[in-house]
Amino acid sequence: MEWQRGSLTPEQMEAVLRFLPLDLSFADEHDVLLYWKGATYKTCDPRYIGRDVRDCHPETSLACLEDIMSQFKAGTKDVAEGWEMDGERFKYTRYSAVRDADGAYKGILEVNHDITDLRALEGIQRLPGW
């Protein structure tokens, strides 16, 4: 089943990624960090791009990262989620296994989202109620 339609130029894709209200990172199937964007990575050194993704994680999180990547590569899991308070903000993190059309592991996508404001929503606001 095909779910995607159309195509974007590289410039359009960059703009779409820039305006998503999420922080993202991607490491390929060889665990090489290729991309990140967003405030979550504000303290990351740009020299981490092109290096092993483990290099930019604190020692305290490496065992968890290794477990996630191992299960993604083995095909036993495709998603790992977590959330926590960061000061006054509620942060949600989701790791997803990225797979090609044949199911082969192509990398790991990390998505970080500050959902503090979403958690406070109540009732209904239908567009165009903006």
The model's pLDDT over 72-127, given as tens digits with 9 standing for 90+, comes to 999 999 999 999 999 999 999 999 999 999 999 999 999 999 999 999 999 988 88
> Can you tell me the distance from the alpha carbon of 93 to that of 58, in angstroms, rounded to the nearest whole number?
16
Q: How high is the pLDDT of residue 39? A: 87
Number of other residues whose CB lies within 10 A of the CB of residue 91: 17
Name the burial class of residue 9, with classes exposed (0-12), middle (13-18) and buried (19+) by CB atoms within 10 angstroms of its CB: exposed
* Percent with pLDDT over 90 in the chain: 78
Structural domains in the chain, CATH included, are: 21-118 (3.30.450.20)
Q: How high is the pLDDT of residue 114? A: 96
The model's pLDDT over 17-54, given as tens digits with 9 standing for 90+, comes to 999 999 999 999 999 999 999 988 888 888 899 999 99
